[in-house]
Amino acid sequence: MPDQSVPQARTSAEAAEAPDSTGGHGVSRRELLGTAGATGLVLGAAGGAVGYAAAPAPATPATPLTSVGSGRAMFHGKHQPGITEGLQARGHLVAFDLAAGAGRKEAAALLRRWSTTAERLMAGEAAPHDDTDVARDAGPSSLTITFGFGHGFFDRTGLEKQRPSALDPLPDFSSDHLDKARSDGDLWVQIGANDALVAFHALRAIQKDAGGAARLRWQMNGFNRTPGATAHPMTARNLMGQLDGTRNPKPTDSDFDRRIFVPASGEPAWMANGSYAVVRRIRMLLDDWEKLSVATQEQVIGRRKANGAPLSGGDETTPMDLEKSDSKGNYVVPLNAHARITRPDTNGGAALLRRPFSYHDGFEADGTPDAGLLFVCWQADPLRGFVPVQRKLDRGDALSQFIRHEASALFAVPGGAAKGEYVGQRLLEG
């Protein structure tokens, strides 16, 4: 029996399937966002609320409320996205090596493809071709896609002279237990989003864009809190239960840009407004850690576990009193406490922006969790950021016996692409 509603419905469905400027989505996911998407706010980064994070009240009842899906970060800009945005609920880190025979020309074409894809996906649109539909219906969900170059990239593309000295291999640390197969890489892509399917969709699109030009070297999955799950959106907890990132520099700090980004006039020129990412897979030895009392854990860290306050008193934002001692004359914040060692003002002003994901890849045969931190930190110069801090930690951090660095990489992350430009163009066509 003919159903008169069918032709109409099919027409509508066919329209949604037809190849068009929205990459086959018909109605772009971006259009669906309406005004909520125009705020550009990444949910979860607002912070400051006491008690449970409340959604912002609508200006008028007709204004759509923001939601996880409508959070949107911008692809174009002075800096690449994925550096200063709030932590995202899901992350993928992936490294590629250029394929045999692929050189500068293929790398340039790849970065162009990747940039096109990143721009579209971050706007909530479909991939430029062969979209998998995994993100269909969803908003951009604060998706960010960030690209970096590793040490080996420059040899393979004949661009050795453009390689920054800041990309020289990190020094060995005595506590390293590095798996080379999961370290380094010619190219690096960091994907973050507040929805796991949006993130996976982006990962597959990036992988397919690689085509014959680059082969996957390693890939890791991570996570953070879901926006709205906690009253402390600015300081996340890690899998040790610690507030993690209390002392992170803030974009409002007067010296933030100088510490985190290469200056516009910096060297090499193609790294203007770029940053260096140190990536470490840090296994947490949770079975050992969790055997400690909370009081002992606090001695290891130097901060109270409940609220992140320094052991010298106050709340999370109170400066640590390094000189304070107890009635027996012992420092209240032990000399080997993690938070004492990592304080910027004991490290010659070194500052790095931590922007990690937690990871959990199941359990070893003996029940030990394969879990910890995908530590990603950002700095204008690793020799003034990660390296001096890690050197100090390597010598005397009380936390070191509860963690194990299992993989390591360092990438040069160029500045953001201008409209019509692709990421790395100033290097590859410079």
Stretch that binds a copy of itself, among 10-18, 115-123, 272-280, 396-404 (CB under 8 A): 10-18
What is the three-class DSSP state of 281? strand
Instruction: Tell me: does residue 33 bind a copy of itself (CB under 8 A).
Output: yes
Q: Identify residues 366-395 at the interface with a copy of itself (CB under 8 A).
A: 367, 369, 371
The least CB distance from residue 239 to a copy of itself, in Å, is: 6
Asked if 188 and 277 count as a contact pair (C-beta separation under 8 A), the reply is yes
**Phi first, then psi: what are they for 403, rounded to 5°?**
-135, 165
Question: 132 or 391: whose CB is closer to a copy of itself?
Answer: 132
Question: 314 or 388: whose CB is closer to a copy of itself?
Answer: 314
Stretch that binds a copy of itself, among 100-108, 231-239, 273-281, 413-421 (CB under 8 A): 231-239
Instruction: Tell me: does residue 304 bind a copy of itself (CB under 8 A).
Output: yes
Question: 22 or 115: whose CB is closer to a copy of itself?
Answer: 22
Question: 143 or 412: whose CB is closer to a copy of itself?
Answer: 143
Question: 190 or 238: whose CB is closer to a copy of itself?
Answer: 238
Per the residue annotation, which of 184, 186, 244, 381 is the catalytic one?
244
Number of neighbours of residue 173 by Cβ within 10 angstroms: 17
Which listed residue (28, 39, 46, 67) binds a copy of itself by CB under 8 A?
67
Stretch that binds a copy of itself, among 109-117, 172-180, 244-252, 360-368 (CB under 8 A): 360-368
Q: How many residues bind a copy of itself (CB under 8 A)?
A: 93
Instruction: Tell me: does residue 194 bind a copy of itself (CB under 8 A).
Output: yes
Asked if 53 and 231 count as a contact pair (C-beta separation under 8 A), the reply is yes
**Residue listed under structure tokens 């074409």:** 109
Instruction: Tell me: does residue 288 bind a copy of itself (CB under 8 A).
Output: no
Euclidean distance between CA atoms 39 and 45, whole angstroms? 13
What is the three-class DSSP state of 190? strand
**Residue listed under structure tokens 């721009």:** 119
The angle at the Cα of 255, spanning 88 to 53, to the nearest 5 degrees, equals: 30
Which listed residue (76, 129, 360, 392) binds a copy of itself by CB under 8 A?
360
Q: Identify residues 130-189 at the interface with a copy of itself (CB under 8 A).
A: 130, 132-134, 136-139, 141
Question: 259 or 280: whose CB is closer to a copy of itself?
Answer: 280
Please provide the size of the chain in residues: 430
Stretch that binds a copy of itself, among 193-201, 262-270, 382-390, 407-415 (CB under 8 A): 193-201
Name the token pair of 396: 């005397």
Euclidean distance between CA atoms 261 and 255, whole angstroms? 10
Stretch that binds a copy of itself, among 72-80, 234-242, 245-253, 381-389 (CB under 8 A): 234-242
Instruction: Tell me: does residue 282 bind a copy of itself (CB under 8 A).
Output: no
Instruction: Tell me: does residue 228 bind a copy of itself (CB under 8 A).
Output: yes
Which listed residue (81, 185, 227, 415) binds a copy of itself by CB under 8 A?
227
Known catalytic membership, residue 345: no
**Phi first, then psi: what are they for 197, rounded to 5°?**
-75, -35
* Amino acid at site 123: A
373, β-bridge pairs: 282, 358
Concatenated DSSP letters for 154-194?
HHHTT-GGG--GGGSPPPP-TTB---GGGS--SEEEEEEES
Instruction: Tell me: does residue 294 bind a copy of itself (CB under 8 A).
Output: yes
Which listed residue (78, 251, 255, 363) binds a copy of itself by CB under 8 A?
363
Euclidean distance between CA atoms 156 and 242, whole angstroms? 42
Question: 257 or 298: whose CB is closer to a copy of itself?
Answer: 298
Euclidean distance between CA atoms 166 and 243, whole angstroms? 30
Instruction: Tell me: does residue 84 bind a copy of itself (CB under 8 A).
Output: no
Q: Identify residues 317-336 at the interface with a copy of itself (CB under 8 A).
A: 318, 321
237, β-bridge pairs: 243
Instruction: Tell me: does residue 89 bind a copy of itself (CB under 8 A).
Output: yes
Q: Identify residues 241-260 at the interface with a copy of itself (CB under 8 A).
A: 241-242
- Consecutive H or E run containing 144: strand 144-149
Could you tell me the CA-to-CA distances from 21 to 16, 25, 38, 73, 140 in Å, in that order?
A: 11, 9, 21, 21, 18
Among the listed residues 224, 275, 308, the one whose alpha carbon sits nearest the alpha carbon of residue 380: 275
Question: 318 or 401: whose CB is closer to a copy of itself?
Answer: 318
Which residues are the active-site residues?
Answer: 244
